[in-house]
Structure 1
Amino acid sequence: MFLVQGLLVQSGIVTIAPELLSVSRWYTFLWGPWFMAGGLLFIMAARIHLRSVRDWRSGAIAGAVGGFGTLGLSVAMLTAGIG
Structure 2
Amino acid sequence: MLPALARAGLMILGEGAVRPFGDDTLKGKEKVSRPNNQKPKVKAKPAPKPKATSSAAKDFDRAFAAARKAGKSTFTWRGKKYNTKLK
Relative to the length of structure 2, the TM-score reads 0.20
Higher normalized strand content (fraction of residues): 2
Asked which structure has the greater RCO (Cα within 8 Å, sep 6+), the reply is 1
**Structure of higher CA gyration radius:** 2
Relative to the length of structure 1, the TM-score reads 0.21
Higher normalized helix content (fraction of residues): 1
